[in-house]
Structure 1
Amino acid sequence: MLYQSISHAIALYKLEQSTKQCKEIYTGKPKPEKVTLFWHLVTLSRFNKYNPLFTTFAGVWSVLLAGASELVDPKSNIQPAFVFRQAALCFIAAYLFCGAGMVWNDWVDRDIDAKVTRTKDRPLAAGIVTTTDAMLWMVLQLLVSLSIVHNMLNGKDVFQHMFPVVLASVLYPYGKRPMALKLRIYPQYILGFTIAWPAVLGRSAIHGRYESIGDSIGYCLPLCFMVFFWIIYLNTAYSYQDVVDDQKINVTSFYTVGGRHFHRFLVVLVSPIVMCMPLYLLRFGSLWLWFSWMGIWTASFVAQLAHFDSDKPSSGGGIHKSNFVLGVWTIAACAVQVLLSEKRSVRF
């Protein structure tokens, strides 16, 4: 009898311990293991989503088209392999730099993110990742990105190329504060510049050996302006998803400018994109680019605006995804232009 009682007591104790372990796993916040911590850091940089890829588009487009122009120059001995190599380096550098910027943004916004439905589960806002781990992860990504840029540019004008985008990334989260609104500064302005600037870096990756950074900026201005307004357009639609929560915690965003006529406001934002695009494409004299870039983008904008419903803020997410597809498609279109230019150079 006594033996059975002791056996039952031991069984109950084991059951109680198992219950506690299950509770810790499903409801508690255990100290993350190495694999788990790494995944949280990946999530912190948004590498589990498509968003960081937006930062790679302008640079990769610029590299590929600069390379395509160089291929048809009879005085140049550049090869397509070099063009694609530089495009790959530009892609990786921009992607990692964006990851570092995401960490900085989330650290500055951690208290605000905790109050917004869409962002409350982010690692820093939820307390899953410590500030120390986040900062070390940010610095690692930044250093690797800078080393790639140094290699891509052969060490020439690295500081001049990177300082503007580093400064903009540092300032970006503060553009969401009420003080910024008083100065008529919206976060979309800073974000647009940050994502457009790599176009200059992309040009320099091909022509930087004999072209000054000032000349590269001048050549890329139409593309930079186009990307700037493109990012403002798609990010304004994207951030409109948070309109209810933003009003509660007094966070400012560019969509407030549209007011009750937000749908028409998006139409206005598309206009400078469509105007800047031809100014850039005219330099290449390519029917393929006119069709694959100007034609496809214009048709897509019409479809996006037709399907957007200002009474359903979530529809802004659809615009964001559609423009991501446009970005990927344009990389493919520019790659085709490189191959077409190679064939043209061989023929002549």
Structure 2
Amino acid sequence: MTDDSRTPEPGEPGSVSDAVTGNWVDRHAPAWTRPYLRLSRADRPIGSWLLLLPCWWGVLLAANADPAGPRWEDAWIFAGCWAGAFLMRAAGCTWNDITDRDIDAGVARTRSRPLPSGQVTVRQALAWMAIQSLIALGILLTFHPVAILLGVISLAPVAVYPFAKRFTWWPQIFLGIAFNWGALLAWAAHAGSLSLPPVLLYFAGMAWTLFYDTIYAHQDKEDDALIGVKSTARLFGDRTGTWLRLFMVASVVLMTAAVITAMVPAGANVLALTLALAGCWAFGWHMVWQLRRLDIDDPDICLRLFRSNRDAGLIPALFLAAALIA
């Protein structure tokens, strides 16, 4: 008999090769829940952060652009986005694994995932995806009607993304469309409408996604080439550094424009505006730091730098929060 209560070692049955070492799922979750939590990437929380942070940017920038300032409802938007981002990323990853189960079986880094390794069936995965989606819908229905509509529309890019790598060299664009939708949704949850600043913030997030997910995709470029999966990592090759610098500059410029167009017309004081802009530039500095350490031929470095984008995205969120009280 095997002891299901102990922590799986990397590479043994049940573990996932790119999970965080010593994660809570492997260490503490009941054995029967682990395949489902791994489908949801609960053992790899970085994706939830990358989906959540544009939501926090959106609500914080909307509060900074509101002459009346933040409202008590913003605390619920903040918390609701946190729960919703986890659930929708989990449901999206489950859908991604369902559609990619045959591809994942041919890639060294992903063949240990629950579906290709046989830990769960497709029917079980579909049921798990439905449960997560329904809970997320319950949270969404507490927001402003415009935000609810945006949340429903967001299902389209989520559904398309897993197939993008089959027909385009730019699947990261489809990921960016889906992962940064929260900037629009959270702004609308506060403001009840959309305008230019959240759109600029949304495109800033898309450029950021192209930056970090190209780094991520370099882990799999050899396997992807063998099985015919497309990515910006394969497309750019040795020119990756040049493209990443372009994405970095685009992200910082667009985020700066979003802050200016949101806060200047609202009459923000000099200190608040300076703090918000400093957050944009510090965000860019973090991406410069990543570029200086990047080795596209070292999968371990690529993974570490990809994960560091949680800290990159927290920087503008913290500065926007500071601007609210300046």
Normalised to the residue count of structure 1, the TM-score between the two structures is 0.79
**Structure with the largest fraction of helix:** 1
Residue deviations 1:248-293, cap 9 Å, x none?
11111112221332222222222211221210121325111122x1
**1:124 alignment partner, SS class:** coil
CA drift of 1:339 comes to 3.0
- Length-normalised TM-score, structure 2: 0.84
2:119 is matched with which residue?
A: 128
Distance 1:224 1:24 in 2: 43
Shift of 1:203: 0.9
Q: Is the Cα–Cα contact under 8 Å of residues 58 and 199 in structure 1 kept in the other structure? A: yes
Alignment of 1:180-259 (within 5 A): 180-181=167-168, 186-208=170-192, 211=193, 216=194, 218-259=196-237
Q: What value does the CA root-mean-square deviation take over the aligned residues?
A: 2.4
Structure 1 segments of 4 or more deviating over 3 A? 21-29
Pair 1:89–1:23, CA change in 2 (3 A): closer
Q: Tell me whether 1:337 sits opposite 2:323 in the alignment.
A: yes
From 50, 53, 60, the counterpart of 2:49: 53
Superposition deviation, residue 127 in structure 1: 0.8
- TM-superposed CA distance for 1:24, in Å, is 11
Q: In the alignment, is the contact (CA less than 8 A) between 1:96 and 1:141 conserved in 2?
A: yes
Distance 2:91 2:239 in 1: 36
**Aligned equivalents of 2:211 and 2:283: distance in 1?**
13
| CA spacing shift, 1:144–1:302, aligned 2, 3 Å | same
State which of 275, 299, 311 in structure 2 corresponds to 1:288.
Answer: 275
Does the Cα contact within 8 Å between 1:113 and 1:120 map onto a contact in 2? yes
Structure 1 residue 28: Cα displacement: 8.2
Amino acid aligned to 1:190 = F
The answer to whether residue 44 in structure 2 is matched with residue 44 in structure 1 is: no
**Contact preservation (8 Å) 2:218, 2:233:** yes
Alpha-carbon distance between aligned partners in 2 of 1:64 and 1:270, rounded to the nearest angstrom: 22
- List alignment gaps of at least 5 residues for structure 2: 15-28
* Secondary structure class of the residue paired with 1:126: coil
Contact 1:64–1:84 (Cα < 8 Å) also in 2: no
Instruction: Give ranges in structure 1 of 5+ residues lacking alignment.
Output: 1-20, 341-348
Please name the residue that 2:104 is paired with: 113
Q: Measure the CA separation in 2 of the matches of 1:91 and 1:330.
A: 17
SS at match of 2:160: helix
Letter of the 2:244 counterpart: L
Select the residue among 247, 261, 265 that pairs with 1:269. Answer: 247
User: Which residue of structure 1 aligns with residue 20 of structure 2?
Assistant: none
Kindly, what percent of the aligned residue pairs are identical? 26
Say whether the 8 Å CA contact 2:200–2:257 is kept in structure 1: yes
Count of equivalent residues: 297
Q: 1:96: Cα distance to partner?
A: 0.8
The amino acid across from 1:193 in the alignment is I
How far apart in 1 are the matches of 2:13 and 2:309?
39
Is residue 171 from structure 1 mapped to residue 171 from structure 2 by the alignment? no
Equivalent residue number for residue 64 of structure 2: 68
Offset at 1:132?
2.0
